[in-house]
Structure 1
């Protein structure tokens, strides 16, 4: 199992999807974002107050993820025999013991805060005139860091990106 972690908008999901696209028959993906406790279940997860003062799920706390459900999905994927590697990506992939203990490989995606902020802003923006931000630059930086600092799992092979080419794109 490969765990991909990093800050918000650092390129974790994009890197994981690139691995799956590169070797679709070898890789299966598990996105920890799919395992957050449902907001309508007030007795589960970690709660915080929103800007309006309403109680809401704390998306920045690993206790807000259904670790048992995520571990069950990981176990099912790992024992299915359908793929050579399971990739789990998410902010808390290594903070959840039932996930972290199964990680054979670990990639920390580092992207500078200004790039992450730009990527996050672009993702939220609905404007068609965005010209000063590039989420793909985050992905490129993340992928280059990952391929430079770790060996890829067997059967996956290296994935390379051109950071400069990506930085020249717009959203």
Structure 2
């Protein structure tokens, strides 16, 4: 997996995802605000199993691998402005870590699981309706995961 960056417009906002490799960790930056924001570390015991993604379906041609309950997230720097966003950022960090560990595990079972450090700086929704906010958050989450997956599999 090479260090790389991709940018897309998601829901009208420029969204940038970068993956940087280090010997002991992988650093992932997700930003719509051109800053690092909330920085979270995800780790998992080396013996904890990771389940593969479910088989593709017509409704979900690129399913995400399930997040292990053994993942531990640690707030390193910054903080999301609300409890809801803090929970959402932890979900991002856990899913990204799962994608990376699954990808690296598919390359070689001998690669140790590195810590995944995720910096997240996303624009807050200005919409007041919960259903619309949830739809926007789902669409952004899915787009970011596709961007991470694209960076992992880029040759």
TM (norm. structure 2) is 0.27
Bigger Rg, which one: 1
Name whichever structure is richer in strand by fraction. Answer: 2
Name whichever structure is richer in helix by fraction. Answer: 1
